[in-house]
Amino acid sequence: MTLASTSCRWVLAACLSGLSLTTLAAQPQEISPGQRYYEKICSKCHEAGIGPVLKGRGLAPETVVAFARIGVNAMPAFRVTDIDDATLYDLGVFLSKSQPLAAPKQ
Ligand code: HEC
């Protein structure tokens, strides 16, 4: 084995272990794609008094999916090009398990 190939392996090993450490460290704060979409889009109405509160109501994921795909009155319908099926279902699961919002301060 040449010296060059040995040091290449060390560099590779260092990079790989560095990568896996980064991945592990990132996990605790990770939010799911559905939750991210909710926070970015849905909460702008549903936590702003424009739409009804959705958190902590034990809504079934299928209910959330149906409302989002069809739309209702002032709420626009979300197409597959807006949010794909897997992400929308994930969003529904996130809402079904969510805690109620804290009561607004008086
Ligand atoms: C532009 C504001 C707006 C956005 C963005 C929005 N909604 Fe709504 N949503 C509403 C309004 C307003 C209603 C109530 C419509 C009515 O009953 O007249 C509603 C109703 C709902 C309902 C029915 C709740 C109930 O108690 O009747 C669900 C479920 C829902 N939205 C899910 C979502 C999801 C999921 C998203 C994000 C993908 C989303 N909404 C984004 C405005 C919005």
Tens digit of pLDDT for each residue in 45-57?
Answer: 999 999 999 999 9
Q: For residue 8, what pLDDT band results from cuts at 50, 70 and 90?
A: very low
Using CA atoms, how far apart are residues 15 and 47, in angstroms rounded to an integer?
Answer: 43
Using CA atoms, how far apart are residues 15 and 96, in angstroms rounded to an integer?
Answer: 40
Give whole-number Cα distances, 30 to 23, 27, 34, 36, 83, in Å. 10, 5, 12, 10, 19
Question: By alpha-carbon position, which residue is closest to atom 26 of ligand 1?
Answer: 52
Tens digit of pLDDT for each residue in 35-94?
Answer: 999 999 999 999 999 999 999 999 999 999 999 999 999 999 999 999 999 999 999 999
Q: For residue 102, what pLDDT band results from cuts at 50, 70 and 90?
A: confident
Which residue has 């605790």 as its token pair? Answer: 28
Amino acid at 7: S
67 C-beta closer than 6 A to ligand 1: yes
Query: Residue 9 has which token pair?
Result: 């392996």
91 C-beta closer than 6 A to ligand 1: yes
